[in-house]
Structure 1
Amino acid sequence: MNPVLPQRWRWLALLLFSGLLGGVLRALHFPAGVLLGCMVVGILMSVQWGQMDLPTPFFVLAQAVLGCLMAQSMRPPALTKVLADWPLFLGINLLVISAAGLLGWLLVRRKVLPGTTALWGIAPGAASAMVLMAESHGADMRLVAFMQYTRVVLVTAVAAGVAHLAMTVATVPAVPDQTTGLQNLYHVGATLLLIIAAALAAQRWHIPAGGLVLALVCGTTLQALGVLVIELPPALLVLAYAVIGWSIGLRFTREILLHAWQALPMMLAAIAALMGLSLVLALLLVLLVGVAPLTAYLATSPGGADSVVVIAATSAVDASFVMAMQLVRFLMVLVLGPRVTAWLARR
C-alpha cells in the first residue's frame, strides 16, 4: 500500500516532473514533446498515488486552443483543397471506422470483454462520448475508458516516435517553432476571446469535445471571411499541450489496470490491428494519391485527434491535410459512432 501523499504535493510533483520530462523531449526535438512528457508523468503519478481530477474548464479551454490551432491551418487555399477532395477524406475514414466496428464485433463474439464493452472501447475517436454512451447501454464503463485511452496513448506514442524517426532519418527541415516570435496583440486578443467563448459555450450546452469543435468551426469561418487572424501565444500552446497530455495520463489508475489485466492482451491485439490497417491506408495514400509518407501516416492514425494534431503541428508535414483528415473522422465518429455502436450492441 502506497503512503498517502497530500493532494497539493501530488500536483507539485506532477508539474515538476512533467516540466523536466517535457523539457528534455523538446530539447531532443521530439514532436509533441510537452504532450508526451505530461502524458507519461500523468500515468505514473495516477497509478502510483491514485487518481487526480483535472478541472474540466482547463481541459475544455485546452481543446479550444487546439481547435484554433487546427483552424489556423485551414486557410482558404487549404480549405478549398479539402473540399475538392472530400470523397478521399470520406472514404478513408469510413474504412477506419468500419474496421474498428469489425474488430469490436470479433471481440464481442469471442467474449473477450463482458457484454458489448469491446464495441464501445475500440471506436477510433470521441473517447469521452463513447465512455458516457457505453454506460447507458449496459457496457462496463471502466473497461471502455481503459480501452479508449490505451488506444490514445499507444497511437500518440507510436505516431510521435515515427515522426521523430522520419524527421531524423530524412533530415527534413525543422518545422517553424511556434513557441517563439513576436505577435500582433490585437490578433492575439481576438483569438483569446474566441477560445474563451468556445469553451464557455461548450460547457453551457454540454457539447462533446465542444471546445475543439466550436473553436475550429468559428475560427475557420471567421478566418475565411477575413474577420479574424488567428494567433496563439507561445505559452498558451505549451499549456494546452500539457493539459491534453495530463487529461490522457491521469485517467489511468491502479484499480482500472487491475480490472482490465486479464483482457489486456486481446485489447492490445485489437488496437495493434487497427493501427496496422491505418498504416495500410497510409501506404495507399502514398502510392495512389502521392501524399508524403509522414503526412499520410499521421492523417490515418486512429486518434485521439487532439494528440495527433499536436504532433502534426510540431512536425514538418502538411498540417492542413492531417488536421482535415482527423477532423472528418472525429466528426463522423462523434455523429455516427454512438448510433452505429448502439445498433450493433442491440444485435
Structure 2
Amino acid sequence: MFRWTLLVFLSAILAVGLDWLRLPGAFLLGPMAAAIAVTVGVGPIHMPRLPFDWAQGVVGCLIAEAVTPKLLAEIASDWPVFVAGVLAVVLFSLGVGWLLTRWQVLPGPTAIWGTLPGAATALVIMAGDFGCDVGLVAFTQYLRVIVVSVLTAGVAAFALPAAQGSGLSFQLLPATPDWIALVGTLVFIAAASFAARRLCIPAGPLMAVMVAGAILQNLHLLDIDLPEWLLIFGYCCVGWGIGLQFRRQTLRAAMHALPAILLSTLLLVIACGGLAALLVWQFGLDPLTAYLATSPGGASSVAIIASGSHVDVSYVMSMQIARAWFLILVGPWLARGLSRLAGYGAVSKAPSRTKPD
C-alpha cells in the first residue's frame, strides 16, 4: 500500500508539473517517470492486468477516433506524396535502428523498435509482445519524442514567432458530458479488450480497439467519446505499466546508450528535414507545413505545435496519422525482419513483460 500511495502521489506531482510546462504527453510521461523512480528506488509493484488492458483500449480509441472521412479524403487526394513521405521517414528510422543494433548499442532488436518514428505509446505496448525489453524501448521512444518536440517547437517559433504551442489544459469535468456515447465507448473498450485477450492477439486490447473502433465509427455504429478524465486514466495506467517494467540494469543500459540514442535522433531529424525540403521543392508545400508533416516526433506534440502555427494542420496531421497507422499495422513485422537481417534471428514470442501478472 505504501508503494502505491507513493506512486500515485509522485505521479500527480510530475504529471501536473509537466503539463504546466506544456510538455506533450505529460500525463503519460509523469506517471511513467514516477513508476521508474519507485520501482528502482523502493521496490517492484504489481500492476493488475485489467486496468492496463482498459488503458490500452483508451489509447486504441484515441487513435481510432482520428480516422475520419476528412482525413481519408485528404490522403486519397494526394496519395503518392503521402506514400512517399511515410515510407521515406520509416526507412530512415529503420536504417538508424539497424545501425544501432549492428553496433550493439542496445541489446537485441530494442534499437529497431525504439527508433520507429511515431505512435510511441502503441509501439512500446506492442514491443513486449514481440520479445523486446519494454523499458529500453520506452526510454528510446520517449527520449526521441521529447528531443524532437523541443527541436520542432524551436523551428516553428523561429519560422513564425506566433507559432508557439498552446499546450493542453485538462478539464476533468466537461460541461455537457454525452453519457450515452461515454457508456457505449466504455462497454466497447471492455468487450474488445476481453475478446482480444481470449484470441491471444499481440498487444490485443490496443489493436482490437483501434481497428474495430475505426471501422465502427465510420459505419456510424459507434460514437467514440473520450472525456479528458478518461484519457488521463488511460495515460496514467499505460505509463505505470511501462515504467514498472524498469529495473536497475535497464536504467544502467539506458544511460550507457544515451549518447548514441541522442546522436541517432539528431541524424533522423536532419534526414527528415531533408525530406521536407524535397517536398517543398518538388510539390511547392509551405516549408513549415512540410517540416511538421515529416517530423519524426509524436503526433500529439506535432498537433499542439501545428495548431498554434499558420500551417495546413489537416495536411500535417493526415501524414502523421497515416504514418502512425502504418507503423502500428506493419511496423512489428518490419522490425522482426530487420532483426533477422541484423543477426538476431526470430524475436521471441515469450509472454510479454507489458502484460502485468
Which residue matches 2:187?
A: 193
Give the structure 1 partner of residue 296 of structure 2: 301
| Paired position in structure 1 for 2:352 | none
1:1-347 mapped onto 2 (5 Å cutoff): 8-107=1-100, 109-110=102-103, 112=105, 122-124=115-117, 126-133=123-130, 142=133, 145-161=134-150, 170-171=163-164, 179=172, 180-259=174-253, 262-282=256-276, 284=278, 288=283, 290=285, 293=288, 296-297=291-292, 300-301=295-296, 308-311=298-301, 316=307, 318=314, 319-345=317-343
Instruction: Report which stretch shifted further, 234-243 or 68-77.
Output: 68-77
C-alpha deviation, 1:101, in angstroms: 3.6
Measured after TM superposition, the shift of residue 193 of structure 1 is 1.7
Number of positions where the alignment pairs a residue of Structure 1 with one of Structure 2? 327
Relative to structure 1, the CA distance from residue 297 to residue 247 in structure 2 (aligned partners, 3 Å threshold; closer, same or farther) is farther
Would you say the 8 A contact 2:82–2:319 is kept in 1?
A: no
Deviations 1:251-279 (A, max 9, x none): 32212233565555434433443344345
Distance (whole Å) between structure 2 residues aligned to residue 118 and residue 231 of structure 1 = 35
- Unaligned 5+ segments in structure 1 are 1-7, 135-140, 303-307
Q: What stretches of structure 2 of length at least 5 have no aligned partner?
A: 308-312, 346-357
Change (3 A) 1:264 1:163: closer
Aligned to 2:343, the other structure's residue is in SS state helix
Change in Cα spacing, 1:158 to 1:249, as seen in structure 2 (3 Å) is farther
- Give, in angstroms, the shift of residue 331 of structure 1: 1.6
Distance in 2 between the 1:280 and 1:87 partners? 18
Q: Residue 163 and residue 206 in structure 1: after superposition, are their counterparts in 2 closer, same or farther (change >3 A)? A: farther
Kindly indicate whether the alpha-carbon contact (under 8 Å) linking 1:155 and 1:275 is maintained by their aligned counterparts in 2. no
Structure-2-length-normalised TM-score: 0.75
What code does the residue aligned with 2:231 have? L
SS in structure 2 at match of 1:345: coil
Contact 2:196 2:204 in 1 (8 A): yes
Q: Aligned partners of 1:332, 1:178: CA distance in 2, in Å?
A: 35
Distance 1:66 1:235 in 2: 13
What per-residue deviation string (whole Å, max 9, x for no partner) do you get for residues 270-291 of structure 1?
3443344345445555664636
Cα distance in 2 between the residues matched to 1:257 and 1:49 = 14
The 3 A distance-change label for structure 1 pair 269 and 52 is: farther
Query: What TM-score do the two structures reach when normalised by structure 1?
Result: 0.76
CA distance in 1, matches of 2:200, 2:276: 34
Question: Identity of aligned pairs, percent?
Answer: 31
| 1:217 Cα offset (Å) | 2.1
- Deviation (angstroms), 1:310: 4.6
Which range is displaced more, 169-178 or 149-158? Answer: 169-178
Note the alpha carbon deviations across 1:172-218, whole angstroms, 9 max, x for none. Answer: 66668675331221111111122112211222222223323222222
CA deviation vs aligned residue, 1:203-237 (integer Å, no higher than 9, x gap)? 22222233232222222222222222221133111
Q: Over aligned residues, Cα RMSD in angstroms?
A: 3.6
Aligned counterpart, 2:351 = none
